[in-house]
Chain A
Amino acid sequence: MSEKLLEAKGVSKTFPGVRALSNVDFALGRGEIHGLMGENGAGKSTLIKAITGVFPRDEGDIFLDGEVIHPHSPMDAEALGISTVYQEVNLLPNLSVAENLIIGRQPMKRGCIDWKTINNDAIKILQKFDINIDVTELLGSYSIAIQQMVAIARALELDSKLLILDEPTSSLNLDEVQKLFIQMRRLKEEGQSIIFVTHFLDQVFEITDKITVLRNGEYVGEYNTADLTKLDLISKLMGKALDELKEFEHIAENKVDEDAEALLCTDGSGKAGYLNPFNIYINKGDVVGLAGLLGSGRSEIANMLFGIVKPDKGSMSIRNKKIKISSPAQALKNHIALCPEDRKNEGIIAGLSVKENIVLALQVKQGWLKNINTRKQNELARKYIDMLDIKTPSVDQAIENLSGGNQQKVIVARWLATNPELLIVDEPTRGIDVGAKTEIQKLIVQLAQDGMGVLFISSEIEEVVRCSNRVYVLQERSVVGELAGSDIDEHKIMHTIAGKGE
């Protein structure tokens, strides 16, 4: 028995136009929780997928228990004892929660699937995470956070040698993360080895024993977590000097310009059962942050302002003119744009090129009869690729070949192309790493400084604090507080959320 459970040596993988992994090493000891970190496009997910057989590696060897493995599919990998939670929730919304937990290894009784045992087992499995839900309901009827917990619970239940968690916490709140960590520690004590891919620095320091860092598809190094400071890690991740980070910390600790021209103002807009009446305003040059816990109504405000959901009370005015927005097309006409939360489902059009993804919203706005000619399309695409520093080999590259951060930039570009005056960004940095995050945050602040109004929605309070010059705090589908300028800090936001009703 070899000392290491899993070893990858010199693994390389190339996709059309992108060298995703080049000569990467990775080693995982027994009973170890090993963090795998890297910026967007660093190759974390690619390495994981090479290990789990989602696609074959081009070069290099992967050893499990000292023997070379060549899994051809996740099913092969599972048979070898590798169980994985992939980056995006990968379960089946059309089946019940219980079935999602057990499918593939259902208990049988007299030749039939034993549903009673499945449902009882499912309840027990979820109780470990303090989740008490109706396991016979369809998974798709629950929130993304619950779905993610179910995906994790499923993987933990598989009796595996190696457990891989690829960004499992991106949709979880702090409480849920702690519950996950309790389970991870329990498994570690039982001798389970875990690869934990994440971009949350706090989490990686809290739970891992070792950290391997990748950058641009290359191996940077392996470190003992205890020997590393946060700043060390950040600079290794970014490959940049530390003072550059500090400079960024202050990007939007800025003034509130009371005289700025009003862009949008709501007066008691709301919809029964969806969002309580709220009053907010956004001026030119503002980055207005929305802070609140999961389900507090952040995205709901975005959906309402963008006309996806029609309010049933209150009114809204744009540039001091009363207006009703009942469709996204109308919102576009009024120069409002929304970068939605769910990049995979609502954002990118996977089959299309970077260029086509960029011109999409503009084309819709102009109407289908006024075609944007190819030259104009290329011009636009190149302009935004330069402006936002989108890393793509060409304008014709298929968008799914880009990393998450670059996909996000393409979506921002799509909406910038429509010349919005108010840009709503919903979780623009979810699932992308420190470097790309910084760039997107800077970009947002820059856009506001150039005169746009930005509504900035994020579940990471830190990020809201950093980028906004005014913040609305949400709690249980109501706006419960407003902070401005130097008043904005994490403490005050937390207190506002906690002190609802005072």
Chain B
Amino acid sequence: MKLLEKLGISRRSMPLIATFVVFIALYVYGGISYRNFFSARVFFNLLTDNAVLGITAVGMTFVIISGGIDLSVGAVISTTAMAVAVMTQAGVPNGLVIPIALLYGTVLGFLMGFIIEYFKAPPFIVTLAGMFFSRGFGYVLSLSSVPIVYEFYAKASAFGLKIGNGRFTIPGIALIVVIIAAIFLSRSTKFGRNIYAIGGSEQSAVFMGLPVFRVKVLVYTLSGFCASLAGFIYTFYTLSGYGLAGIGLEMDAIASAVIGGTLMTGGYGTIFGTLIGTLIQGLIKTIISFNGQFSVYWIRLFTGGMLLLFILLQKAFVAGTAGMKKAEG
């Protein structure tokens, strides 16, 4: 740790660096163990396959940094995809389908945020209710899998910029665009900084005259939008809507944020970390599928171990910072 500090790496970026090192290590391990692992195809597939999770995790990261949680995102993804499918079946023009689909999660997020702030209700419960509502709404639309009939989705799904032997697909592009926009939002806008401020101490943020109410409502709105966008992207994989899709995805999104160095208590975290957290989960999947001996169930096991490791790492980091403060006082 001392050595790192000498190298000009501050203590607070330690969890992020640890995450990055694990990512590189996994990547190198994959590259050494399996032929063709170091290829553009594997890399771009990693982006494509994890776009839905990554985009959702971005919204989740903002919510967690603000000191909250959003359990509704998995259900919003599934219901958004279902809504797209049902609307295409009903012949709604695609120019309307897309905005309506994106509005669904956004409006739900706004309502949840408003309820959380106006009634000072616990986010865990309110977004749990949002999750049930959204799942229920999805089932109301249809209990079975509904195919998407517009050609646009099949074409969008097949689209990809050729880079080497890989394809930079729309989901991959969307993920990168969302990440860049979110990094900008988190670092260079007042809204972004206010999210961190609220997560650091909501009471202080109030006393410092920051617009806490508005920012918190907008954070849930943003998370809802991200989930809906992810749900829309999801249709490119499945070309259908299904009410049981995305179950437990909110937990994966939380895992992405936490592995990426976001503290569940709020105030600390980065979007870049969340991207790496998402890609680590993706790499574990890729390595296990390359291996072929392990069944897919091992994915969960490894992800769980990874999560535990990072939680412990963060504990050490937090204890370290607290110790430093004491020593100075």
Establish whether residues A84 and B207, one from each chain, have CB atoms under 8 Å apart when the complex forms: yes
CB neighbours (8 Å) of B12 from chain A are 138
Report Cα–Cα, A11/B328, bound state, in Å: 42
Establish whether residues A93 and B201, one from each chain, have CB atoms under 8 Å apart when the complex forms: yes
User: Interface SS of chain A: helix, strand, loop or mixed?
Assistant: loop
CB neighbours (8 Å) of A138 from chain B are 12, 321
Determine which of B187, B190, B197, B327 lies in contact with A92 in the assembled complex, contact meaning CB atoms within 8 Å. B197
Stretch at the interface among A57-65, A99-107, A245-253, A384-392: A99-107
CB neighbours (8 Å) of B194 from chain A are 103
B205-227 contact mask (Cβ, 8 Å, vs A): 1 or 0: 11111110000000000000000
Which residues 75-106 in A have Cβ within 8 Å of B in the complex? 75, 77-79, 84, 86, 90-95, 99, 103-104, 106
Q: Which residue of B lies closest to A106 (CB)?
A: B190
Report Cα–Cα, A140/B211, bound state, in Å: 22
Q: Does B90 contact A (CB under 8 A)?
A: no
Which residues 268-311 in A have Cβ within 8 Å of B in the complex? 273-274, 294-295, 299, 303
Q: Does A141 contact B (CB under 8 A)?
A: yes
Q: Does B291 contact A (CB under 8 A)?
A: no
CB neighbours (8 Å) of B321 from chain A are 138, 140-141
Establish whether residues B210 and A103, one from each chain, have CB atoms under 8 Å apart when the complex forms: yes
Report Cα–Cα, A86/B205, bound state, in Å: 12
Q: Does B203 contact A (CB under 8 A)?
A: yes
B190-208 contact mask (Cβ, 8 Å, vs A): 1 or 0: 1001101101110111111
Q: Does A266 contact B (CB under 8 A)?
A: no
Report Cα–Cα, A75/B198, bound state, in Å: 14
CB neighbours (8 Å) of B211 from chain A are 75
Which residues 132-179 in A have Cβ within 8 Å of B in the complex? 137-138, 140-144, 154
CB distance from B188 to the nearest CB of A (A): 4
Q: Does B261 contact A (CB under 8 A)?
A: no
Q: Which residue of A lies closest to B188 (CB)?
A: A112
Given contacts A84-B207, A140-B321, A140-B325, contact A94 B187 (CB under 8 A): no
Establish whether residues A86 and B207, one from each chain, have CB atoms under 8 Å apart when the complex forms: yes
CB neighbours (8 Å) of B189 from chain A are 112-113
Establish whether residues B197 and A90, one from each chain, have CB atoms under 8 Å apart when the complex forms: no
CB distance from B114 to the nearest CB of A (A): 17
Given contacts A75-B209, A94-B267, A103-B193, contact A144 B329 (CB under 8 A): yes
Establish whether residues A104 and B201, one from each chain, have CB atoms under 8 Å apart when the complex forms: no
Report Cα–Cα, A303/B322, bound state, in Å: 14
CB neighbours (8 Å) of A84 from chain B are 207
Q: Does B268 contact A (CB under 8 A)?
A: yes
CB neighbours (8 Å) of B319 from chain A are none
Which residues 162-197 in B have Cβ within 8 Å of A in the complex? 184, 187-190, 193-194, 196-197
Q: Does B324 contact A (CB under 8 A)?
A: yes
CB neighbours (8 Å) of B187 from chain A are 113
Given contacts A106-B193, A141-B325, A143-B328, contact A92 B204 (CB under 8 A): yes
Q: Does A74 contact B (CB under 8 A)?
A: yes
CB distance from B9 to the nearest CB of A (A): 13
CB distance from A300 to the nearest CB of B (A): 8
User: Interface SS of chain B: helix, strand, loop or mixed?
Assistant: helix
Report Cα–Cα, A86/B188, bound state, in Å: 28
CB distance from A412 to the nearest CB of B (A): 22
Q: Does A254 contact B (CB under 8 A)?
A: no
A102-131 contact mask (Cβ, 8 Å, vs B): 1 or 0: 011010000111000000000000000000
CB distance from A203 to the nearest CB of B (A): 22
Report Cα–Cα, A399/B196, bound state, in Å: 29
CB neighbours (8 Å) of A299 from chain B are 329
Report Cα–Cα, A274/B325, bound state, in Å: 12
Of the listed residues A138, A144, A154, A273, the one surrounded by the most CB atoms of chain B closer than 10 A to its CB is A138
Determine which of A103, A137, A143, A144 lies in contact with B208 in the assembled complex, contact meaning CB atoms within 8 Å. A103
CB neighbours (8 Å) of B208 from chain A are 74, 90-92, 103-104, 154
Establish whether residues B204 and A90, one from each chain, have CB atoms under 8 Å apart when the complex forms: yes
Determine which of B203, B210, B324, B329 lies in contact with A75 in the assembled complex, contact meaning CB atoms within 8 Å. B210
Given contacts A92-B201, A106-B193, contact A78 B209 (CB under 8 A): yes
In the complex, 12 of the A-B residue pairs with CB atoms within 8 angstroms, ordered by the A residue number, are A75-B210, A92-B197, A92-B204, A92-B208, A94-B196, A94-B200, A94-B267, A95-B196, A103-B210, A104-B208, A113-B187, A113-B193
Beyond A94-B267, A103-B197, 20 additional contacts (C-beta under 8 Å) are: A75-B209, A78-B209, A86-B207, A90-B203, A90-B207, A90-B208, A91-B201, A92-B205, A92-B208, A94-B268, A103-B210, A104-B190, A104-B210, A111-B188, A112-B188, A112-B189, A113-B188, A138-B321, A140-B321, A143-B325
Residues in A lying within 8 Å of B, measured CB to CB: 54, 73-75, 77-79, 84, 86, 90-95, 99, 103-104, 106, 111-113, 137-138, 140-144, 154, 273-274, 294-295, 299, 303
